[in-house]
């Protein structure tokens, strides 16, 4: 669902403020927002958290793939050394 005009303005404002400052301000009451803007702030923060979780999961997958590729390369190297020693 696309943002309304107000939500688009709020989203731009939140991007400028930053996730950490917004979270601290909204949860501690340092930034007094009208209720619709406050609810949108929590939705925006949830979107950011979900995006961060997805990035972390993707990075974990890349790290696992890289680890197993390195293990495979080491095994191929060991096999190459063993074949060289046995044949000579």
| C-alpha dist (Å) from residue 28 to 8, 24, 47 | 24, 6, 20
Q: What is the pLDDT of residue 84?
A: 94
Q: What is the pLDDT of residue 28?
A: 86
Q: What is the pLDDT of residue 15?
A: 94
Q: What is the pLDDT of residue 2?
A: 65
Q: What are the boundaries of each domain within the chain?
A: 5-62
Enter the tokens of residue 1. Answer: 């669902």
Distance of CA 58 to the CA centre of its chain: 8
Q: List the helix and strand counts (H, then E) for the chain.
A: 3, 0
Q: What is the pLDDT of residue 17?
A: 92
**If the chain, 88 residues long, is cut into consecutive pieces of 10 residues, what is the mean pLDDT of each piece?**
83 93 87 88 95 97 98 97 92
């Amino acid at each position: 669902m696309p943002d309304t005009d107000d939500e688009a303005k709020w989203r731009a404002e939140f991007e400028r403020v930053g996730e950490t400052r917004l979270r601290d301000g909204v949860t501690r009451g340092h930034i007094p927002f009208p209720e619709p803007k406050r609810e949108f702030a929590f939705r925006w923060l949830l979107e950011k958290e979900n995006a961060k979780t997805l990035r972390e999961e993707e990075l974990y997958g890349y790290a696992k793939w890289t680890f197993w590729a390195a293990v495979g390369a080491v095994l191929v190297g060991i096999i190459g050394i063993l074949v060289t020693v046995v044949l000579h």
